[in-house]
Amino acid sequence: MKFTNLFLISISLVLFQSCSDDNSPIEIPEPDSEQSEEPQVEEEVDEEEPINISPDSFSLLSLEDGEEDSDLNPQLKWGAANDQDGDTVTYQLILDYNESPENVLVENLTETQFTITESLERNTLYFWKVIASDNNGNETESSETYSFSTKGISFSETALTANTEFTARRNHSITEFNGKLWMIGGQDDNESYDNVYSSADGSSWELEAENPFDVFNKSNHTTVVFKNKLWAIGGWYSDIWSSTNGKDWTMETATPNFGAREGHSTVVFNNKIWVIGGSEGPDQFNDVWYSDDGITWSLAIENAQFSPRMDHTTVVHDNKMYLIGGTSVTNFSPSFYNDIYVSTDGITWTQISAESSFEVRSDHTSLVFDNKIWVIGGWSAVNNEETFEQDVASFDDVWYSENGIQWSNLNVSESYSPRMGHASAVFDGKIIISGGLNIKQADNSRTHYNDVWVVE
């Protein structure tokens, strides 16, 4: 009984304690004031990067829009394109034949001008614009597209010089060599010359050598540039000379296989020098000789398809040799020609049919310029069927052809005089014409010149 009472008392205490725990308030611990607070991390906000803008607008300056007769190597200018971001600005020059040009002529320019060094085509309309670029790839086109047209070919209105430092003469030669013009020899009605003058501009001439060819005066000779030397061939004699500087001359041979020769023509073709036709005393030739060193000569053909002649010309054009005009004398009676023969090997010569051609002539000059063959001046003495006398005429005409068949006439200045035995050369993008003799039958006068004229 005692055990039972103790058990009940224990049960009651346990239940009482359980009820007491359930009703007790929940204690919330005080925050520890000494415990450090964790730092709060602020969210990062992406800042917008500044926008890099294109260079400012700019304008073209010159050549002016619509300009005509421009030089073939014009300088083009435009305003500077400012870049507000301070970026480096470079320029592209766009130029071609279309109203909306696309051809990039040059790029990465840092200056606001450019001179075109490779000559443009003549008589051609061009369009141009400029694009400014920064180093972030942003671009700005010029505010406008301009056009200009290049000049055609014209004969100068006045002489480049009316009186050069060398005396008036005919049958001299002028050749471009090492960036200068070189005038050699010639004659007037009283004497022949063998002096040498040079010019850097065609206007002012300097005496380089007084008597470099010893006793061999140079008149009705030929000169060519071959293997970095200037060569002088024949002219009454059979001598051949060369020079590396135009001043000092070396006789390469006095006995070439073709003998003495004057009134011949000489060209460089297929890496050889060619001597064609000419005369010795009363005899004219239609032979063709060549040499690969200027000393040893070989006969290509003794009697070519063209008739024997002298005072003709030969030029190289379109990988062919063109022989033009000339004269021959039989029993003191001259015959003049305006026929044209062409050859690709110096052996076979084929006459071509020339349309609207120039009159018969000799002592003219011929050259190749602007991808055309040019024939300048000359003279003829043609029998007049009415008077049975010879009509003697010197010519002041200038002809040109792209193919040797169709020929056009270039207008010349009224101040320019007819002439024969003059000299001409291509120099600095121009044709230079100098000296010669004008025969006037009306007053039986003969006038020699030492002027210089220009075709450009």
Mean pLDDT of 429-444: 95
- The per-residue pLDDT for 8 is 39
Name the DSSP letter for residue 8.
H
**Can you tell me the distance from the alpha carbon of 454 to that of 153, in angstroms, rounded to the nearest whole number?**
10
- pLDDT tens-digit series, residues 157-214: 999 999 999 999 999 999 999 999 999 999 999 999 999 999 999 999 999 999 999 9
Contact indicator for 152, 411 with CB cutoff of 8 Å: no
Give the confidence band of 50 by pLDDT, cuts at 50, 70, 90.
confident
What would be the CATH architecture of the domain defined by 173-455?
6 Propeller (2.120)
Cα 115 to Cα 58, 272, 377: the distances in Å are 19, 37, 36
**Can you tell me the distance from the alpha carbon of 393 to that of 158, in angstroms, rounded to the nearest whole number?**
23
If you search the block for the tokens 């294109």, which residue do you land on? Answer: 54
- The per-residue pLDDT for 216 is 86
Backbone angles phi, psi at 321, to 5 degrees: -95, 130
Mean pLDDT of 260-270: 98
Q: Which tokens go with 150?
A: 């290049």
Contact indicator for 448, 437 with CB cutoff of 8 Å: yes
Q: Choose among 274, 455, 251: nearest CA to 368.
A: 455
**Can you tell me the distance from the alpha carbon of 151 to that of 160, in angstroms, rounded to the nearest whole number?**
19
Question: 226-258 in b/e burial notation, b at 16+ Cβ within 10 A?
Answer: beebbbbbbbbbbbbbbbeebeebeebbeebeb
- Judge whether residue 20 has pLDDT over 80: no
- The per-residue pLDDT for 19 is 41
- Alpha-carbon torsion 200, 212, 310, 226, what sign? negative
Cα–Cα–Cα angle for 381, 339, 445, nearest 5°?
20
Cα–Cα–Cα angle for 271, 235, 213, nearest 5°?
90
Give the H or E element holding residue 6.
helix 2-22
- Percentage of the chain beyond pLDDT 70 is 89
- Judge whether residue 46 has pLDDT over 90: no
**Can you tell me the distance from the alpha carbon of 415 to that of 159, in angstroms, rounded to the nearest whole number?**
8
Cα 215 to Cα 173, 188, 218, 246: the distances in Å are 18, 18, 9, 18
**Topology given in CATH for the domain delimited by 60-150:** Immunoglobulin-like (2.60.40)
Cα 25 to Cα 16, 20, 21, 407: the distances in Å are 17, 10, 9, 126
- pLDDT tens-digit series, residues 274-301: 999 999 999 999 999 999 999 999 999 9
- pLDDT tens-digit series, residues 212-235: 999 888 999 999 999 999 999 999
H-state helical runs in 210-282: none
**Mean model confidence pLDDT for the chain:** 91
DSSP reduced 3-state for 78 = strand
Q: Is the peptide bond before 63 cis (omega within 30 degrees of 0)?
A: yes
Question: In terms of C-beta distances under 8 Å and separation of at least 24 residues, what long-range contacts does 270-274 make, across chains too?
Answer: 273/224, 273/226, 273/231, 273/233, 274/300, 274/314, 274/321, 274/346
Of 45-54, 234-243, 264-273, 432-441, which range is least confident? 45-54
Sketch the domain layout of the chain as residue ranges: 60-150, 173-455
Contact indicator for 140, 55 with CB cutoff of 8 Å: yes
- pLDDT tens-digit series, residues 97-116: 999 999 999 999 999 999 99
Q: Which tokens go with 213?
A: 């060819």
